[in-house]
A and B are shown apart, each in its own frame.
Chain A
Amino acid sequence: MLQSKMDRLFNATNLFFLTVIGLVTLFPLYYVLVVSFSDPAEFIRNKATLFPKKWSLDSYRYLLSTNSFMHAMGNSAFLATVGTMLSLFVTSCLSYALSRRRLQGRRVMLLLILLTTLFNPGIIPPYLLIRDLHLINSTWSLILPVLTSGWYVLLMKGFFDSIPSSLEEAARIDGCNDIGVWWRIILPLSLPSLAAFGLFYAVAYWNTFFTALLYINDFNKQPLQVLLQNMLIDSSTASGGTAAVEITAEQQIPSETLKMAAVVIATVPILMVYPFLQKHFAKGAMVGSVKE
């Protein structure tokens, strides 16, 4: 009896704190939505309100008709789709090959890949490489250097390790070669894991900022995050590129409502894939990394 009373108290306290944590996490996002849907003039007059006093879609309408914004969205969409597909392809090919125990040189390759996760040469040497490859100002400079990562290869290899080899043998008897086994047997079986890695890659490409800062000077090739930086962060110091100029043509500094509408639009693609892939997160994040 006492036990169950304590139990109920525990559950109630736990529930309470988790609800508070949830609300604290959500509040900034909720407030972004409120500001983005507020009437710009009304927002300046009233500033913070927890609910828009006067609804308006003006900010969205304006942004979606702005060439530079749509162009940057397009650049990021290209990055996210093409980059993700290439990354999944390269990662799964290599991971599958490395998961076959009979492959000669496998241990050396795994060791060399592990080393890349422990030591990185910093910012400048990769920059010089990209420059020497003449990839400065090319969209490929945002894809090729991050095509795969040692971690993801090791994680995905761990996942492939767990697929029973009898499946591979059966396919072999039916006349498949290794590429056939990978494509027809292994990949279909790994769809949940591919979905998780695909999401991680897609989000990383969609959020590309630092490499674009390093490698892309051409305004037309800049991804969304760089334009957002110009709008959200650099706008007051006016060091932004032409994007900020075009967007700020009307007002000197883009209004808060406009900024937050941009934040919302930039977040929508992530929110759209999120529910479909959420159930696979854990799988993708932990395959092979939690030792029993």
Chain B
Amino acid sequence: MSQATERRRSIWKGVKRDRFLYLLALPGIVFFILFKYVPMWGILISFQDYSPYQGMWASPWIGFEHYIRFFSNPDFLILFRNTMAINLLSLIFFFPLPILLSVMMNELRGNKFRKTIQSIVYLPHFLSWVIIVGITFLLLSTGEGIVNQLLVAAGLNKIDFLTNPNYFWVLLTVQSIWKDAGWGTVLFLAAMAGIDPQLNEAAKMDGAGRLRQIWHITLPGIRSVVIILLILRIGHIMDVGFEQVFLMMNGAVSEVADVFDTYVYRLGIKQGQLSFSTAVGVFKSLVGLILVIGANKLAKKFGEDGVY
């Protein structure tokens, strides 16, 4: 009894002592409660037949009906296929590139050239998707697009890159590479800068060439960063950047372009099917959460650090 009072008193003392720290934390805490945790309650409407007029308290509960409807809907398979295809392409073609690129940049001897190359490859990361899609149209459209004009000049046929479903996934991957492969080197280069140069010296003494040094020193040196990024990437396998797909989508490619987020946007915001599209969103986030926890566990099993 008195021990509990004692503890309460000491907690209160700490709070009083640190009142200014709590004051500093307050705006941030209010933000996380209001904009991150209150919407978590909103998930409940996926178990309701929510009507905006009745609100969350008065709308009838219907259990898993929306989820069942979604899984038995042919749309589900299409969305799942598109999301997986786009992400697997990115995992295979995008993910290794920043590693390769940073190894190459790390091997540069001249400091000036290195800085120039870095400034250049970082740059597209800061452009918006609207602009990147706009540039894509400028380059690839069948009308004014420079690529098609070059094809014609070379005596070839024009290619309708933008409206042919066969090119859509490839196009997204290429855009992502152009935009973010350079930016992806930031972490790897930082990790490489932390590798002890004595290791390289010792390897050189043993007669190891540059490629061998890369293989036995540089790559193992960034292994933990690679694994952390891979885990995070796997956690986002259900996410496809909404803006990119939304902006690149057109009637001709919608069959291969529709992903969970564009579907939620269309059905939820445009058509007002709030409960149903919330269920779709919840499903997506839940799978992502399970994947990230699973990947993290796996990493730890293999003796790596993991993300948390």
- Residues of B contacting A122 in the complex (Cβ-Cβ under 8 angstroms): 43, 264, 278, 280-282, 284-285
Q: Check A48 against B269 for contact (C-beta < 8 Å).
A: no
Q: Does A113 contact B (CB under 8 A)?
A: yes
24 A-B contacts (beta carbon < 8 Å): A11-B107, A15-B113, A25-B182, A28-B135, A31-B139, A47-B144, A93-B24, A94-B28, A98-B25, A102-B14, A109-B25, A113-B32, A118-B292, A119-B40, A126-B35, A128-B45, A129-B35, A148-B28, A177-B20, A178-B18, A228-B131, A229-B247, A270-B127, A285-B187
Q: Does A85 contact B (CB under 8 A)?
A: no
- Residues of B contacting A147 in the complex (Cβ-Cβ under 8 angstroms): 31, 35
Question: Assuming A48-B149, A122-B278, is B24 touching A291 (CB within 8 A)?
Answer: no
Min Cβ gap B247→A in Å is: 6
Chain A 101-131 residues near chain B, CB threshold 8 A = 102-104, 109, 112-114, 116, 118-129
Q: Does A6 contact B (CB under 8 A)?
A: yes
In the assembled complex, the Cα of A278 lies from the Cα of B122 at a distance in Å of 9
Residue of B nearest to A26 (CB): B120
Q: Check B210 against A214 for contact (C-beta < 8 Å).
A: no
Chain B 270-291 residues near chain A, CB threshold 8 A = 274, 277-278, 280-282, 284-286, 288-289
Q: Check B124 against A25 for contact (C-beta < 8 Å).
A: yes
Min Cβ gap B141→A in Å is: 9
CB contacts between A and B, total, < 8 Å: 259
In the assembled complex, the Cα of A260 lies from the Cα of B139 at a distance in Å of 11
Q: Check A118 against B235 for contact (C-beta < 8 Å).
A: yes
In the assembled complex, the Cα of A202 lies from the Cα of B127 at a distance in Å of 12
A contact residues, range: 35 or more
Report which of A18, A124, A292 forms a contact with B281, defined as CB distance below 8 A: A124
Residue of B32, B117, B178 with most chain A CB atoms under a 10 A cut-off: B32
Q: Which of B74-82, B83-91, B189-197 lies on the face that meets chain A?
A: B189-197
Residue of A150, A203, A207, A233 with most chain B CB atoms under a 10 A cut-off: A233
Question: Assuming A21-B121, A128-B274, is B28 touching A91 (CB within 8 A)?
Answer: yes
- Residues of B contacting A18 in the complex (Cβ-Cβ under 8 angstroms): 104-105, 108, 113, 117
In the assembled complex, the Cα of A104 lies from the Cα of B144 at a distance in Å of 63
Q: Check A121 against B247 for contact (C-beta < 8 Å).
A: no
In the assembled complex, the Cα of A146 lies from the Cα of B269 at a distance in Å of 19
Q: Check A260 against B138 for contact (C-beta < 8 Å).
A: yes
In the assembled complex, the Cα of A181 lies from the Cα of B29 at a distance in Å of 20
Q: What sequence of 0s and 1s flags, for each residue 11-42 of chain B, a beta carbon within 8 Å of any chain A beta carbon?
A: 10011001011111101110110111111111
Question: Assuming A22-B116, A93-B25, A93-B27, is B18 touching A103 (CB within 8 A)?
Answer: yes
Question: Assuming A10-B211, A179-B24, A281-B122, is B144 touching A228 (CB within 8 A)?
Answer: no
Q: Does B57 contact A (CB under 8 A)?
A: no
Question: Assuming A98-B25, A123-B281, A232-B134, is B178 touching A28 (CB within 8 A)?
Answer: yes
- Residues of A contacting B101 in the complex (Cβ-Cβ under 8 angstroms): 21
- Residues of B contacting A95 in the complex (Cβ-Cβ under 8 angstroms): 28
Q: Check B104 against A109 for contact (C-beta < 8 Å).
A: no
In the assembled complex, the Cα of A214 lies from the Cα of B277 at a distance in Å of 15
- Residues of A contacting B31 in the complex (Cβ-Cβ under 8 angstroms): 90, 144, 147-148
Q: Check A124 against B42 for contact (C-beta < 8 Å).
A: yes
Report which of A121, A123, A286 forms a contact with B268, defined as CB distance below 8 A: A123
Q: Does B112 contact A (CB under 8 A)?
A: no
